[in-house]
Every structure is written in structure tokens, then in C-alpha cells.
Amino acid sequence: MVPMTSASTIASAGSAVPAAGAPDEERCYRAVQSKDPRFDGWFYTAVRTTGIYCRPSCPAVTPKRQNVTFYQTAAAAQIAGYRACKRCRPDATPGSPAWNMRADVVGRAMRLIADGVIDRDGVTGLATRLNYSERQLNRLLTTEVGAGPLALARAQRAQAARVLIETTTMPFTDVAFGAGFASIRQFNDTIREVFASTPTDLRSQRRPAASGAGIVSLRLAFRPPMDTATLFGFLGMRAVPGVECWDGSTYRRVLRLPHGLATVSLTPAVHHVDCRLQLADMRDLTTAVARCRRLLDLDADPESISDQLIIDEMLAPLVIKSPGLRSPAHVDGNELAVRAVLGQQVSVAGARTLAGRLVAKYGQTLAVPDGELTHAFPTAAALACADPADLAMPASRKRALFGMCRALASGEIQLDAGADRTEVEAQLVALPGIGAWTAAYISMRALGDPDVFLPTDLGVKHALERLGADGSPKAAHERAEHWRPWRSYALHLLWGSL
């Protein structure tokens, strides 16, 4: 089977994948024949004779080629009249890596939709955030992924509703509005159309796995392999007291969501990550899940990344040692930006201590503490008004922090899922005291940029020299050009080697 190692191999100019080019369609069909789970989420297989759509790894008998159509999104398959397979549950696959990789308006729109922006602000809000008209945006998305923003949001609501139906004892009325539906009728009709089942049928098939108000337990799928030890160790080392904690197996933290505060517990398992959310408002479910997925980089395609980086003989042993390496992002762009400035020219432990002091002084206290979790990280607005005496750092970094917090609080700089990475880096560097290293690090972790490299980083220099390479910034930059578009992952490999 010819491997699909980039988004371009299944990108489409129309609703089916791909609309132009039989070789790509044949590649998709070979993936279906091999039932390879690596391609789950890259595309969906719709079978005309059954009227259902599946993930590529569906264990059912492989349909005949002439009966199959391929779609990039579940929403596109649903628009075409197909319902979700009850056996393979295509709605529960990892997301397509394409939307995290792409920096264009379609990629930004897909990330914002996943974050729940349409449920909060409507299509008008999405278009405004991207500086496009609603008509332009609808045309772009329909052309690229086969479905407009409303259809994409509808498919997402259906999945959120299914999670609530199967993992809670919430009344269906609460499930409907919690998942983002405007009415009970819309909720019932969508569940029947997408899953060919009623809400009652779905609940009877699975016993709720969670109890208590606002608690949801679910599994977050990923493409194996995944180096969970390195990923969770990275987050655990940087856990800010009061906001985060890590006991060596489970990472927990407070989330600041559109409708209130929440806490999440994330525990790696063999083929998924167990996620337990305590939500103040069920409307935040979709947003919370999307942000946890971004935090853990669960939609990554580890095969593509390894195939590119292992070509470098210096990196090859590190790639082999850490199969399935992830590049962790963050659940809150503003929080990450503040922490990046706090961490300038200090150790990881020193940055944690300083951040912990700010949390205790300016963080929002949880109404009911959850063990070690007691506060939400301070907002940019709160820190913009902080007493400089509470910041144990040089005056130049204080100015940088206050200036950045004012820009974030005013909306001059926005670090959300729809941000233009190039534009944000330029805005950050224009602020006094924010250099190229800090701006690039924020792009990598706050915005999920997979292709960031920090040639002036001391850790990079030491790692390259230990591996027998030239650690100078110029040489490091030139070498890293061969690692595109996965330089962020190479960066984590180098840091991990220390």
C-alpha cells in the first residue's frame, strides 16, 4: 500500500476524496482493504449499497470498489445522505492531522469549529474572526472539505450528544442543549439521521460510565504509536501548583472555558487516553475535548513525522528511541504566552515557582477545590493590572509581560485556534521585550505550529553538540531545514535527548 504521508495525498477539491485523480482514490481504497487504523480520521468511506459511512479500519467485509465514495469529513458524508456505521463508530476517530498542519483560512476555520465557536457565536462570529464574509467562508469550506460551517458544526454536535447520552444520566433535554442544539426536535432528528438510532436506543446500549453533576468520562482516540511517557513527563515537569498536577500516571488541570471553569484528568492507556471532565456547564463539552486533544497532540500522524525525521542519521536513533513522539500544545493560548515570558532565562523549576505565586495572588479560586487543583490561571486582564512588586523578575521582563498582557486583554493579539501564526509572531516580536525565541515558542505551543525551530535555544545547542553536530545557530538552522514540516517534533527530540 502506498502510504499517505501528508495532507495533500487526500486533500480534495470537492466533496469526495479526492475529486480529481483516480490514483489517490485507489490509495484510499487500498487503505480500506488493509483495514489500517492509521488512516482513521484522514477520510471516511461511504458505501452506496448500505447507505452508511465508516472509518477505513472498519472490520466489516470490504465493500466493492464501485460501491464506495470517499469523503474528507463526516459532515460531508452526512450531507450526502449516509449514516454512521454502528460497528466501527466513525464519529469516534482521531481528527485529521491536516487541520492542525494547515495555516490557511480553511485550516484555521476547522480548528475554530472544533473549538465550538459556531455554537457560541454562530457562522457570523466565525466569519468575523477570520475576516471573511459568510458567503466566502461557506464557499471555501464546501469546496475544500465538502461541507459548510453549519454542517460541520452539526456533525460535531451529534458526536458531543452521543458522548453525553452514553456517559451520563443527564435528561435528554439537558443533553440536547449541552451539545449545542437549538431545540429538542433538532436534537432528535439529528441523532436519528446520523446514527440511525434514537437517543433512548443509544443510552440502552451502554451503561453510563460517570456519575455526579457535570461529570463526563470518555476515551480520546489517537493514532499509535504514542510516546506517552515523554509527553506526560513534559507536562508534569511544568505543572504549575494550584492549576495543574501530575502523579506520574495521571495529569490533571483546571480549564478556563467559555461558560465557566472545569477540571480534567487525563490518563494514558494502550490505544486511547482516558479523559474525565468535571464541567460547570455542559455546553463546554465540545470545547473542552478539542482543547485536550490539542494539548496532547492526539491528531498527529506519527508515521509521517517519523518517516521524515529518521532520514537524518543524527536524529534516527532518537526517533527509534521515542516512537510516536508528540508536540504538546496548550489549552489556553494566553496562559501559555504568560508562562513563556515568565520562563525567559530561568529554569523550568524557577518558572513554575514564579507562576505558582501569581496563581495564588491573582488566579480565580475554584468554588470547590478538586484535590490539589485550587485555582484557574490568572487572566491576561488580571495580570495587566498586577502590582509589579509581585513579579520577582528583571524590570525588562516585567515590561514585556505587562505589555503583552495588555495586548492580549484588549484583543489586539488573539491566541486562539483560529489565529494566523505568521501574523501573531510578527505582532509578538513588535512588542518590547518579546524576542524571536519567545514568539516562536508561543506559536508552537499556544497555536500548535508543527514546524517551529529554535536555533538559538541553549538546550538545542547542547543537544546537537552531544550528538556530534555543530550547535551554532546558523548551522542548526540550516540542518533543521531538512526536518520540515516537522521541526517542532525534532525540537522535542533534541530536548528529550538531554
> Would the CA dihedral through 401, 402, 407, 411 be positive or negative?
positive
Give the relative orientation of helices 117-130 and 105-114 as an angle to the nearest 10 degrees.
160
Known catalytic residue: 457? yes
Rounded to 10 degrees, the C-alpha dihedral 311/312/318/320 comes to 20
How far apart (Å, rounded) are the C-alpha atoms in residues 432 and 421? 19
How far is it, in rounded angstroms, from Cα 158 to Cα 257?
20
Which helix or strand (DSSP H or E) is residue 71 part of?
strand 68-71
Q: In this structure, which amino acid lies at residue 254?
A: V
* CA separation for the pair 175, 485 (Å, rounded): 40
Half-sphere exposure of 324 (CA within 13 A, CB side): 17
In the block, residue with C-alpha cell 465550538:
116
Grid cell locating 323: 516512537
Q: Which ranges constitute the DSSP H helices of 325-453? A: 333-342, 348-362, 380-384, 395-410, 421-429, 436-446
Q: Which of 28, 40, 54, 115 is catalytic?
A: 54
Q: Cell 494550584, residue? A: 242
The three three-digit cell numbers of residue 14, written as one number: 470537492
Kind and range of the H or E run holding 52: strand 52-54
In sequence order, the β-bridge partners of residue 46 are 53, 69
Contact at 8 Å (CB) between 173 and 161? no
Spatial distance between the Cα atoms of 380 and 402, rounded to a whole number of angstroms: 9
Catalytic-labelled residue, pool 91, 284, 297, 457: 457
Whose cell is 501569581? That residue is 358
Number of continuous H segments (helices) and E segments (strands) in the chain: 23, 11
Query: Is residue 54 annotated as a catalytic residue, yes or no?
Result: yes
Neighbours of 159 (CB within 10 A): 21
As given in the structure block, the three cell numbers for residue 12 are 480534495
Which DSSP string do the residues of 273-307 spell out, in sequence order?
EEEEEEESSGGGHHHHHHHHHHHHTTT--HHHHHH
SS percent in the chain: helix, strand, coil, step 5: 50, 10, 35
CA distance 194 to 197: 8
Q: How far apart are CA 130 and CA 112, in angstroms?
A: 10
Please give the positions annotated as active site.
54, 457
